[in-house]
Chain A
Amino acid sequence: MYVSSEGNYSNVVTSDGRSRLVTYQLGQVEDAINDQLGDEGMTFLRLGRSLIINTEYIYLVDVTKQVLILSDFHGSFHELSASKEVLAKLKAYIESIERTNHD
């Protein structure tokens, strides 16, 4: 669901609600996603220095309140905070992705 930076470690939170502290810096996690997932990794976004999120779990982006909520849509919510600038960019990014459908 998301990975947050904990100094020289990273906290990996999965959609089943479990979190694991791993001995990798966030940049190393980013590299691993890039190297191992390829295009599939485009589901993930790096938000500033301290967060990597899976966009499939975005529930709410509130730029004003600097709140980002991720959810597994089964009743589990994770409220995260990030800078207004990066949340504004996140919102713009999401809104800019065009569907391949012919709506």
Chain B
Amino acid sequence: MIRLDDNIQDDELRVLGKPSPEEPKKKGFKWYYAVAILLIISGVIFAAVRLFDIRRNEIVPDFYETELSDTIAMSETIPVMEKLGNYKDSSKAYTEHIEMTVNDIPLDIYIPHNAKPRLFIGTPDLNDKNVIFTTQAADIRADNGKINGAFVLAGEPKAWGLSKKGYCGIIDGKITIGVAANSPLFEEATETGGYFFRQYPLVDNGKLVENEPKGKSIRKAICQRGEEIVVVMTSEPESFHDFSQALIDLGASNAVYLVGSASYGYFRDKFDQLSIIYNKQRGGQKYENHIQWVKE
């Protein structure tokens, strides 16, 4: 294999994994023109559909945030920490569901009780009664379908990379949420059979963290609120900023995002009643991943 013509300049970037473009043959000019015109027309239609979709649903761009902006605002009033959940029943594994409005933002709050958190790769089975709560955790890359950012599953690293500065680690059943480019929790998770994933940071020690995507969507987050770990979801599309502020007003000291919009999730309540938050997506992804709580 001798390649005499390495046709690239120093200021050029080329995505590999696709056949190198070949010199067009003279006889093929009309054919190429026809394909090019078709591609352009398809591109315009696709762009128009995407634009409409973005305006309608606000699909957030950019899987790699190199310029996450600084923390900008301090919450002025953090409410007195009364636990949100009802902890009277200390034995049954179930999920408590609370509906609450904070600053005119309707929120669904899910509090798992007496269950062990873990990460899971795949599409959870609705019939698995050991799972009392599940919702999608880390994002999936569009270019290769793999998990976006560092991810550890039961001690085994499944993905590497700093896509977002927010992190969530689960070590010996204890959840830690924070914001850092490098977190020792990644190593700790690999050494102790724990779990780790990355997402957008929303609240860092009571401070609001701004994120680049500016549109509105159904937002989801995992939050630390005093001694409680709760999953919070908006009922209506909201901006990152308003959602983060609502979490602070709810009393969250730390929070990171979870896959938003109509991402798959369900829970089981005190009466073992199954409720689907959002149903499965068609054409599931190989590396769909969830944070879930399971009966011990």
B128 located at the interface, meaning its Cβ lies under 8 Å from any Cβ of chain A in the complex: no
Known: A25-B3, A28-B1, A86-B11. A46 touches B142 (CB 8 A): no
Q: Please indicate the chain B residues that have their CB under 8 angstroms from the CB of A39 in the complex.
A: 17, 144
B20 contacts A101, CB within 8 Å? no
**Taking beta carbons and an 8 Å cutoff, which residues of A are in contact with B?**
15, 24-28, 30-34, 37-50, 52, 55-61, 71-74, 82-83, 85-86, 89-91, 93-103
Q: Which of B's residues lie within 8 Å of A, judged by CB?
A: 1-3, 5-6, 8-20, 57, 59-64, 66, 136, 139-146, 148, 150, 159-162, 182, 186-187, 213, 217, 257, 259-263, 285
Contact A99/B17 with A60-B66, A73-B150, A83-B11 known, Cβ cut-off 8 Å: no
Residues A42 and B14 in contact, CB atoms below 8 Å apart: no
Q: Is the interface of B mostly helix, strand, loop or mixed?
A: loop
Beyond A31-B3, A46-B8, A98-B61, whether A72 also contacts B140 by CB under 8 A is: no
Residues of A within 8 A of B66 (CB): 60-61, 91, 94-95
29 A-B pairs (CB sep. < 8 Å): A27-B5, A28-B1, A28-B3, A30-B20, A31-B1, A32-B1, A34-B17, A37-B17, A42-B143, A45-B16, A47-B13, A73-B160, A85-B10, A86-B12, A89-B11, A95-B64, A96-B62, A97-B64, A98-B59, A98-B63, A98-B142, A99-B141, A100-B285, A101-B263, A102-B217, A102-B260, A102-B261, A102-B263, A103-B259
| Residues A26 and B6 in contact, CB atoms below 8 Å apart | yes
- Which residues of chain B are near A28, meaning CB under 8 Å? 1-3
A89–B13 touching, CB < 8 Å? yes
Shortest Cβ gap from B195 to chain A (Å):
16
Which of A45, A85, A97, A101 has the most chain B CB within a 10 Å cutoff? A101
